[in-house]
Amino acid sequence: MSGGLFPDITADDGLIHLPGFAASDTDALLALVADITARSPFRHMTTPWGKPMSVAMSNCGDVGWTADRRGYRYAAHDPIGGAPWPAMPELFRRLSENAATAAGFPGFRPDACLINRYQPGAQMTLHQDRDERDLTAPIVSVSLGLPAIFLWGGATRKDKTRRITLASGDVVVWGGATRLNFHGVAKLKASQRPEAVRINLTFRKARA
Ligand code: MD3
Ligand code: FE
């Protein structure tokens, strides 16, 4: 991972894009995702409206984000099997803390990492992330695998969205005034290799 000053920062309306910040770590990160999901497998959670999500998810850390018919929440145990979520690997923690520091948020200590898997056809519709107790902490996202188009909206659902391509190894940090902005991911295109997927790690401080 990049040490010291990271030169290639684009700060744009509260979105801080660090292209390639995790580029040298992608293989190690994917191997750790494989370890985590061997214990807490990817699953398609159900929304409170009863619809299975097209993105498959798992978590590591003290708490993990879950969705079911009762709502959205962070929980210390994987509802599949009832065990604690796998611990957050040291590389995950270090990378996310270094990215947050490079983006101007020193002292970020994530307690949750949501792992999203996008197969071709999967998407994430516009939403806000508001299940975290500490909204002063940023969110750090790390993209791995196939590129995707990130949709970056405003404070209301009606605000127009901009499209930003996120490639493998890219890191984005959101915090401050834009922490509650609407955002989503456009439907993932099929690639030449049908087994190829996009993995996104989002690091959060879920508990105050
Ligand atoms: C902007 N994931 O898991 S990560 C999510 O690529 C989510 O899988 C997308 O949105 C993905 O909730 C985008 C980037 C992200 C995460 C949280 C945010 C952007 C954000 C919270 C506020 C504003
Ligand atoms: Fe989100």
In the reported structure, the alpha carbon of residue 147 is separated from the centroid of ligand 2 by a whole-number distance in angstroms of: 17
Cβ atoms of residues 199 and 52 within 8 Å: no
Average pLDDT for residues 12-40, to the nearest whole number?
A: 93
pLDDT, tens digit, 9 for 90 and up, residues 112-169: 999 999 999 999 999 999 999 988 999 999 999 999 999 999 999 999 999 999 999 9
pLDDT reported for residue 131: 94
pLDDT reported for residue 4: 43
Q: Which CATH class is domain 10-204?
A: mainly beta
Separation of alpha carbons 54 and 86, rounded Å: 23
Looking at the chain, the number of H-run helices and the number of E-run strands are 2, 13
Ligand 1 within 6 A of CB of 124: yes
For the whole model, what pTM was predicted? Answer: 0.94
pLDDT, tens digit, 9 for 90 and up, residues 46-61: 999 999 999 999 999 9
In the reported structure, the alpha carbon of residue 153 is separated from the centroid of ligand 1 by a whole-number distance in angstroms of: 11
H-type alpha helices, the chain: 26-39, 90-102
Separation of alpha carbons 30 and 96, rounded Å: 15
Q: Reduce the DSSP state of residue 10 to 3 states and report it.
A: strand
- C-alpha torsion sign, points 22, 165, 125, 179: positive
Find how far residue 118's CA is from the centre of its chain.
12
In the reported structure, the alpha carbon of residue 184 is separated from the centroid of ligand 1 by a whole-number distance in angstroms of: 7
Domain locations in the chain?
A: 10-204
Cβ atoms of residues 206 and 132 within 8 Å: yes
Ligand 1 within 6 A of CB of 197: no
Closest ligand to Cα 67? 1
Cβ atoms of residues 126 and 185 within 8 Å: no
